[in-house]
Amino acid sequence: MAYDRKQAGHHVAQADRPDYRLLIGRAEVAVGQARDFSVLDSARAATLKAWVATLVPAAGKRPDAAAVGAAEYVDATALLVPALRPVLLQAIDQLSLLAAVKAGKAFTECAPDERELLLRELEASDESDAFNMVRDFTYEAYYGHPRVLAALEEETGWSSTSPTRGSLMPPFDSARLERVRSLPPRWRKA
């Protein structure tokens, strides 16, 4: 399906704005690397950190998304894909303005429940798809981070590497094949 209109509930960017889903194929950002902000100034970086920490708050032994560098991951992706920069900057500025108008303070100064309400309002009014972009990049950075994967494995027993390394199996008892070996051939020479 071409990403050129809304179909069956899938939002697709319009021609006048970039579709991050198509553009991110040009950017490979390693998850879990320590990095600084390159695109965002310190105020916007703090807002984005509060945004991602609200999207994925700390739970049990799992840190929040800001603690594992999800905001820096979003910034690094925007650095590699310049078309995403204006969308990201406008969304952060819109969130800051929304917080100033609705809460009377900076987004970073809001309590977690206030942040959640402000993000819900941003999501509902977002026509640029920036909210979805930040959410998707945050999830990618968070659920790919070694600290989070280790905490999930400890909590649930699920290992992200089990599909590639397998698991221990009991040794096969070749005596179970004796009956089949004793059968006459079920084929003929051609």
Number of domain units in the chain: 1
Could you tell me if residue 143 is inside a domain? yes
179 sits in which H/E element: helix 178-182
Environment class of 67 (CB within 10 Å of its CB; exposed 0-12, middle 13-18, buried 19+): middle
Could you tell me if residue 189 is inside a domain? no
**pTM exceeding 0.85:** no
- Nearest residue to 29 via CA among 92, 91, 73: 73
Give residue 131's identity as a one-letter amino acid code: F
Whole-angstrom distance, CA of residue 95 vs CA of residue 123: 10
Could you tell me if residue 170 is inside a domain? no
Q: What is the pLDDT along the chain (190 residues), one digit of tens a residue?
A: 333 334 445 454 455 667 888 888 868 898 989 999 999 999 999 999 999 999 999 999 999 999 999 999 999 999 999 999 999 999 999 999 999 999 999 999 999 999 999 999 999 999 899 999 999 999 999 999 999 999 998 988 888 777 777 777 889 999 999 999 999 988 888 8
Domain that holds residue 64: 20-161
Could you tell me if residue 175 is inside a domain? no
Could you tell me if residue 185 is inside a domain? no
Whole-angstrom distance, CA of residue 65 vs CA of residue 16: 31
Could you tell me if residue 2 is inside a domain? no
Could you tell me if residue 98 is inside a domain? yes
Could you tell me if residue 182 is inside a domain? no
Alpha-carbon torsion (91, 107, 71, 136), positive or negative: negative
Question: Are 145 and 31 spatial neighbours (Cβ–Cβ below 8 Å)?
Answer: yes
